[in-house]
Amino acid sequence: MISLRIRIWFIPAVLSLACNNEAEPVVQNPPKRDTNIIINELANPYAPVDKSPMDMSYFPPEYPVLKMSNKTTGLPVARIIYSRPVKSGRKIFGNLLKYGQPWRLGANEASEIELFRDVTIQNRKVAAGRYIIYCIPEENNWTIILNSHLFSWGLTPDASKDVDRFIIPVEKTNAPIEYFTMTFEKTPQGAALIMAWDDIVAKLPFQF
């Protein structure tokens, strides 16, 4: 009798164990998206992501892509390297950035513009080369300065190294621009460097 009870208990136990050992379905991870998504990391021992990331713009726009697809030859006309601070609900011009005070046109390192050929700005020739670029904002216009003091942090203006200055008007925008942006656009005479942030857009046209 005891032997029969043991057999009766043992059979369902074995069946239960067999069921639990059935192979679970294989779940494959979805493919990673081919996009530049910033993922928050607990620690990065090498280089943290800056709150004002560095960016680069070319004229012609997307020049490296055009070059690699054999849609253009030769050098670009211009390139600008700068950092992109964010508005974050602040009033920028006349508040965070005081009128009449020099501004580096970005954050962190001084912004740099590289001209790969001679250009003309406001009827004045600017030789090909690399310059830092900064401005003095006013309510209705900006003074744009090209300066030869390269590879510098922040902005400590040295007027003795100024190459030239250009006064340009500013325009108001209908919608605030969150990230400071510098880019180039084509014009009938050549191109223009667009500088935009908060509710202000300024354009520096040049011919080549």
Instruction: Identify whether 14 is part of a domain.
Output: no
Q: Rounded to 10 degrees, what is the CA torsion of 154, 159, 161, 163? A: 110
Q: Which residues, in sequence order, are CB contacts of 127 under 8 Å at separation 6+? A: 115, 118
Q: Which residues, in sequence order, are CB contacts of 72 under 8 Å at separation 6+? A: 60, 63, 66
The two beta strands, 112-115 and 141-147, are unpaired
Instruction: Identify whether 160 is part of a domain.
Output: yes
Residue 38, pLDDT score: 53
Instruction: Identify whether 8 is part of a domain.
Output: no
Q: Compute CA 163 distance to the chain's CA centroid, rounded to the nearest angstrom.
A: 26
Partners of 181 in the β-ladder: 196
Residue 142, pLDDT score: 99
CA distance 194 to 177: 13
Q: What is the pLDDT of residues 149-167, one digit of tens each?
A: 998 888 887 889 999 999 9
- Count how many Cα atoms sit within 13 Å of the Cα of residue 47 in the half-sphere of its side chain: 2
Is 183 exposed, middle or buried (CB count within 10 Å of its CB: 0-12, 13-18, 19+)?
A: middle
What HEC string does 101-153 produce?
Answer: CCECCCCCECCEEEECCCEEECCEEECCEEEEEEEEECCCEEEEEEECCCCCE
> Are 77 and 57 spatial neighbours (Cβ–Cβ below 8 Å)?
no
Region of 102 (left: φ > 0; alpha: ψ -120 to 50; beta: rest) is beta
Instruction: Identify whether 26 is part of a domain.
Output: no
Instruction: Identify whether 76 is part of a domain.
Output: yes
- Count how many Cα atoms sit within 13 Å of the Cα of residue 183 in the half-sphere of its side chain: 11
Instruction: Identify whether 90 is part of a domain.
Output: yes
Instruction: Write out residues in the chain with pLDDT < 70, as ranges.
Output: 1-43
Instruction: Identify whether 22 is part of a domain.
Output: no
Residue 10, pLDDT score: 45
Instruction: Identify whether 15 is part of a domain.
Output: no
Alpha-carbon distance values, 202 to 67, 145, 166 (Å): 29, 14, 12
pTM for this prediction: 0.76
Domains in the chain, number: 1
Residue 84 lies in domain: 54-207
Retrieve residue 140's tokens: 């209705």
Residue 96, pLDDT score: 95
